[in-house]
């Protein structure tokens, strides 16, 4: 996104609309900070500018286009055909049956409005999941960004791109799930420089209860069923 300086009247009406704080004053002009902008399209959709000074280039080049496809809820991912972050985020598990009995599904979401996340931090998480020998949920656009499945390294040219958020999803055998939580949480706190949310999903047992939930309580993790839990709150 950029501002046509011929049209801009410096009213700053656009400033509060941007979830990333990308509209800034520079050299007495209102500009879009190119590094901060994640190309989410919110400013255009809100039609906030009375002068129609906010503009988008005809075609966002690769790899910057990844900012848009991960941050703009109206963009559809080619690999999955799903809008926004490109995954149904475990919410449709009752239909897809992706996370079956005996497996715990984990989503590790990097980024939030204001902070966002760099893909270099996403790579750290993908590498960690790979090193732990855990299976990725394949129907997720993050998997398409992996250049080397043996290490989890992402395509090198994309690492400097910033997105509103991206989610890694994986399946962990239930007997390894508690260890996975502890090891991943420690890793995220130490290594990842953005807000992270880790969520888990498990199928109910035949009696309608969840043995996994019970296990979490027994080790003092006090989960919030159907809620989101922020961990690894880091400097953004
Ligand atoms: S709302 Fe439009 S005219 Fe006002 S500062 Fe932003 S770009 Fe300029
Ligand atoms: S596209 Fe999104 S991040 Fe970029 S300036 Fe507009 S609202 Fe801000």
Residue 64 lies in a domain: no
Is 27 within the bounds of a domain?
Answer: yes
Measure 7 CA to ligand 1 centroid, in angstroms. 8
Question: From the alpha carbon of 7, which atom of ligand 1 is closest?
Answer: 3
Per-residue pLDDT reduced to its tens digit, 150-208: 999 999 999 999 999 999 999 999 999 999 999 999 999 999 989 998 888 887 778 87
Could you tell me if residue 50 is inside a domain?
yes
Digit-coded pLDDT (tens) for 4-48: 999 999 999 999 999 999 999 999 999 999 999 999 999 999 999
Q: Is residue 205 part of a domain?
A: yes
Kindly state whether residue 62 falls inside one of the protein's structural domains. no
Model confidence over 40-67: pLDDT tens digits? 999 999 999 999 999 999 999 999 999 9
Going from the Cα of 71 to the center of ligand 1, the distance in angstroms, rounded, reads 22
- 48 lies in the same domain as 103: no
In a domain, residue 86? The reply is yes
53 Cβ below 6 A of ligand 1? yes
Mutation pick for ligand 2 pocket among 2, 14, 20, 49 (CB with most ligand atoms within 8 Å): 20
Same domain, 22 and 126: no
Whether residue 29 has its Cβ less than 6 Å from ligand 1 = no
Residues 28 and 93 in one domain: no
- Whether residue 113 is contained in a domain is answered as yes
Please state the pTM of the whole predicted model: 0.87
Q: What is the mean pLDDT of the chain?
A: 87
Let me know whether 119 and 200 are in one domain. Answer: yes
Q: Do 176 and 121 belong together in one domain?
A: yes
Q: Residue 1: CB within 6 Å of ligand 2?
A: yes
Ligand 2 neighbour 172 (Cβ under 6 A):
no
Note whether 39 and 105 are same-domain residues. no
Task: Please identify, by atom number, the ligand 1 atom nearest to the C-alpha of residue 48.
Answer: 1
Residue for token pair 């972050």 = 85
Mention every residue, 6+ apart, whose C-beta is less than 8 A from residue 146: 126, 152, 153, 154, 155
If asked whether residues 84 and 199 sit together in one domain, one would say yes
Which residue range is the domain that position 16 belongs to?
Answer: 2-55
Tokens 């190119």 correspond to 34
Q: What's the number of domains the chain is made of?
A: 2
CATH number at residue 24: 3.30.70.20
> At CB < 8 A and 24+ separation, what contacts does 174-179 make?
174/102, 174/103, 174/104, 174/202, 174/212, 177/104, 177/106, 177/212, 178/215, 178/216, 178/219
**Does 229 have pLDDT greater than 50?**
no
Q: Say yes or no: 34 and 82 in one domain.
A: no
Say yes or no: 136 and 177 in one domain.
Answer: yes
């Amino acid at each position: 996104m950029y501002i046509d300086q011929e049209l801009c009247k410096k009213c700053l009406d656009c400033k509060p609309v941007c979830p990333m704080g990308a509209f800034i004053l520079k050299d007495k002009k209102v500009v879009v900070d190119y590094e901060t902008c994640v190309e989410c399209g919110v400013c255009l959709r809100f039609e906030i500018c009375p002068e129609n000074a906010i503009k988008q280039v005809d075609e966002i080049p690769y790899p910057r286009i990844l900012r848009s496809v991960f941050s703009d809820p109206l963009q559809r991912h080619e690999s999955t055909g799903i809008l926004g972050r490109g995954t149904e985020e475990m919410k449709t598990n009752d239909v897809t049956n992706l996370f079956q009995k005996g497996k715990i599904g984990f989503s590790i979401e990097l980024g939030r409005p204001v902070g966002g996340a760099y893909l270099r931090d996403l790579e750290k998480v993908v590498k960690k999941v790979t090193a732990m020998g855990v299976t990725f949920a394949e129907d997720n656009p993050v998997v398409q960004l992996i250049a080397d499945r043996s290490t989890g390294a992402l395509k090198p040219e994309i690492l400097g791109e910033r997105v509103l958020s991206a989610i890694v999803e994986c399946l962990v055998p239930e007997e390894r799930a508690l260890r996975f939580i502890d090891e991943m949480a420690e890793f995220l706190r130490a290594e990842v420089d953005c807000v992270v949310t880790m969520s888990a999903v498990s199928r109910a047992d035949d009696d309608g209860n969840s043995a996994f939930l019970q296990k979490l309580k027994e080790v003092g993790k006090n989960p919030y069923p159907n809620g989101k839990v922020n961990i690894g709150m880091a400097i953004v």
